[in-house]
Structure 1
């Protein structure tokens, strides 16, 4: 995609009227639309959010992230920023203030969350990327971003079953996953 095409796609994305209940993201120049989240998804996000004290953390749900070098404007399920950092207003959160992004996998987001966003977040140097997967009942913690573009990745990958604690050493938090629910009647995948 040329720079002109990328600018047009970004303009189109920013001016698109989206129906209520639809989530939209720009991922490497592609506009991706998804249905609103399941209750299981929302309960997981709430369980994570509750474990980060509000006095220390800005716990931003569905906050757009400014990753223009990737022609991307993802909207993670949860963005964690230390209180007192980042802009006080606006639609976009700059990557340099983000400590962790969280994505909760849905039936239609497996490839986006495990592949596309993994390289986008790594290329943007987001220190921690936590994938919470209610389809297969595990969490994948990615740390140590390296590389550029589509070849970017994380140096460290740890997998934790639901019910096991997830040590988030960089944030000085041990995440309790015992309340995380699973989606019924779904076909498991083979990621990560």
Structure 2
């Protein structure tokens, strides 16, 4: 990282975010957005409920540290194996994470499909799930490759709402029939 990146990170860490908003640092850019809507929250809750608490921690509003990136994203849901991280601190290291979930919105769709896809792959997060209530589909990305802005996932599996989504790394099958759309 450069001195500019360090200054942006310091500024970001001191940022006072207004109530009802969230802020993320994505490749040196501070992105602020309004809180999520009901459809979004119900999808996140449904996904979390379908992942076993016996083996996995499922956290919302958890910032992630991505090695080598001037990024501190806050995915909609973070899933990691119990005991893989015990804190303290506000940043959970990406290498401890098994799956990250983002629920796309009209204002986040480009970041979710493009920017965060590359950031999470660069952080070597094994699985990235995009649930898109605009298009009525789920996109599961696995097998991260590459580095920096050129990082991506080698495997992409798309399922429409109503079809089950195998989350093999978690030993779960995600039922999506109750996911609502924003249409």
Q: TM-score range by the shorter chain?
A: over 0.9
Give RMSD over aligned pairs.
1.0
What TM-score does the superposition give when structure 1 sets the normalisation length? 0.93
Secondary structure of 1:53's counterpart equals coil
Q: Give the number of equivalent residue pairs.
A: 183
1:108 aligns with 2:107: yes
Runs of 4+ aligned residues of structure 1 deviating over 3 Å after TM superposition are none
User: Where do residues 32-181 of structure 1 align in structure 2 (5 Å cutoff)?
Assistant: 32-181=31-180
Secondary structure of 1:69's counterpart equals coil
How many Å apart are 1:17 and its aligned residue?
Answer: 0.5
How many Å apart are 1:87 and its aligned residue?
Answer: 2.3
The CA deviation string for residues 80-139 of structure 1, in whole angstroms up to 9 with x for no partner, is 011122023321101111000000001100110000000000011000000000001000
Distance 2:117 2:39 in 1: 22
Distance 2:52 2:171 in 1: 11
Most deviating of 84-93 and 165-174: 84-93
How many Å apart are 1:10 and its aligned residue?
Answer: 0.2
Distance 1:87 1:19 in 2: 29
Distance 1:32 1:14 in 2: 13
Contiguous gaps of at least 5 residues in structure 1: 185-192
Contiguous gaps of at least 5 residues in structure 2: none
User: Counterpart of 1:18?
Assistant: 17
